[in-house]
Structure 1
Amino acid sequence: MIDQPEKPKLSVVAQNTQQQIETNEAQDQVNAALLELAANIIRVVRGAGKPEQILHQCSDVVNAAVEYRDAAGRLPSPATLASAILLEREVIDYNDSFWAARQIAYRRIVRGSLQVAASKLLGQRLQIDRGEDEIDESIQELEHLREEIRRKRAAEQRAMRPKISPRKRTLKPKGTKKV
C-alpha cells in the first residue's frame, strides 16, 4: 500500500448564527404569507380570487410575523414588508428603444391600474384621476410607439421595392388618323 498523506479534517463553518438562520427562515414565511394574501386580495378586487380565504391568509401573515418576532426580537420592518410584495421589475433592454419604451409604458399602466383600484375602494377621487391619467398617458405613448414602428416598417418596405422608371410617352404625329 502507498502511504498517503493524512488529509486534514474539514468542518463546516457557517457565517450565520442560529438566530440569523431562524430569522431568515421566519422572514421567508412572512414574505410567502404576505404574497399569498396580497395576490388573493388583488384577484378578489378584480372579481376573481378566493374571498373565503382572506381571513385565513390574514391569520397566516400575523402568525408568521409573530414567529419572526420570536426569532428576531422585533417585527419585520415596513420596508421589508413592502419589498416582499413589490412587483418585480423586469430588466429592460435599452438597446432596443421601442421595446424599452413599451415595457416602461406597460409598467405605468399596471401602476395606474392598481392606483385606480385602490383609490376606488377608498373613494379617493383625486387619486382615481391621477391613476387614470397615468393609464391614459401610457396608452397614448404605446399608440405613438406603434405608429412610429408602423411608419418605419412602411419606409423600409418602400425602400426595398424595385425602382421602376416611368415610361416615356410617345406622341403620335398630328394628322394621322386611326383606321
Structure 2
Amino acid sequence: MVKLVVENDPKEIARRQILDHLERELRLLFANLLRVSRGAGKAYEVGANCAAVVSVYQQYREVEGCYPASHEVSRALDFRKDMDQPFDEMRFGIERIVAGSFQLVASEFLRQRTQASAGETQLFEGIRAVEAIQERNRFKFQEDIKARKHPRKTIKRKQRKPKPEPEL
C-alpha cells in the first residue's frame, strides 16, 4: 500500500516524466552526433539538440533540487536495454561490436591510444564471435542439405533362392 502512494506522488510522476523526456533528448543528440560524424545526420540541429538536453536538465533540477544521477543518464543512453531479441550468443557478439566501435570512435576523437586499443580488441572479439556463430550455422545448414539429398534408406534385399546343387 505504501508503494502505491509513493508511485502516485505527483513529484515522483513529474520526475519520471522529466527522465523520459531527458532520455529522448539525449538519444536524439547522441544519434545525430553519430550520424553527423559519419557524414549524414543534421549538423545544423546539433546546437538545438544540446539546448534541449540542457533545458531538460534544468527542469529536472527544478523538480529534484539536483541534476540526474549518473546511473539515470547511463540508463538513458544504454543501447542494450532496447534490444527486443532474447540474449544469445549472436546478440552478445553484436553488442561487443557496437560497444567496441563506440569505444574506438570516442577514443580516436580524444586521441587516447590506449583506450582505442581496448575498443579495437572488443570490436574484434565481437566480430570473431559472430563469425564463429555464422560458421556453425553454415556447417549445420550444409549438413541438413546433405541429409535431405542423400537420405539413408535401408533397403531390404530379397532373399535369393538357393542355387540348385549341381548333379553329379
TM bin, normalised by shorter chain, reads 0.7 to 0.9
Contact 2:97 2:126 in 1 (8 A): yes
| CA offsets 1:120-140 (integer angstroms, 9 cap, x no match) | 100111111221122222222
Matches within 5 A, 1:29-48: 29-48=21-40
Instruction: Say whether the 8 Å CA contact 2:96–2:126 is kept in structure 1.
Output: yes
The one-letter code matched in structure 1 to 2:122 is E
Deviation at 1:36, TM superposition (A): 1.3
Correspondence for 2:42 among 37, 47, 50 = 50
TM-score (norm 2): 0.76
Amino acid at match of 2:115: Q
Q: Does 1:133 align with 2:125?
A: no
Aligned to 2:14: 22
Cα gap change, 1:14 to 1:123, in 2 (>3 Å): closer
* 1:15 shift after superposition: 4.9
* Residue identity matched to 1:31: E
Percent identity, aligned pairs only? 30
Alignment of 1:112-131 (within 5 A): 112-131=100-119
Structure 2 SS opposite 1:74: coil
Structure 1: gaps of 5 or more residues: 1-12, 95-99, 166-179
In structure 2, C-alpha distance between the alignment counterparts of 1:22 and 1:75, rounded to whole Å = 14
> What amino acid is aligned across from residue 21 of structure 1 in structure 2?
I
Gaps (5+ residues) in structure 2?
155-168
State the structure with more CA Rg: 1
Deviations 1:129-178 (A, max 9, x none): 2211222222222222222222222223333304599xxxxxxxxxxxxx
Structure 2 CA distance for aligned equivalents of residues 133 and 41 of structure 1: 24
Instruction: Give the 3-state SS of the residue equivalent to 1:88 in structure 2.
Output: helix
Residue type at the aligned position of 1:156: D
| Whole-Å separation in 1 of the counterparts to 2:24 and 2:101 | 24
Root-mean-square deviation (CA, aligned residues, Å) is: 2.4
Kindly state the Cα deviation for residue 26 of structure 1 after the two structures are TM-superposed.
2.2
Distance 1:23 1:93 in 2: 30
More helix by share: 2
What corresponds to 1:105 in structure 2? 93
- 1:68-114 Cα deviation digits (max 9, x unpaired): 111122211111111111113425546xxxxx221211111111111
Cα distance between partner residues in 2 of 1:26 and 1:141: 39
Tell me, in whole angstroms, the C-alpha distance in 1 between the residues paired with 2:47 and 2:80.
Answer: 26
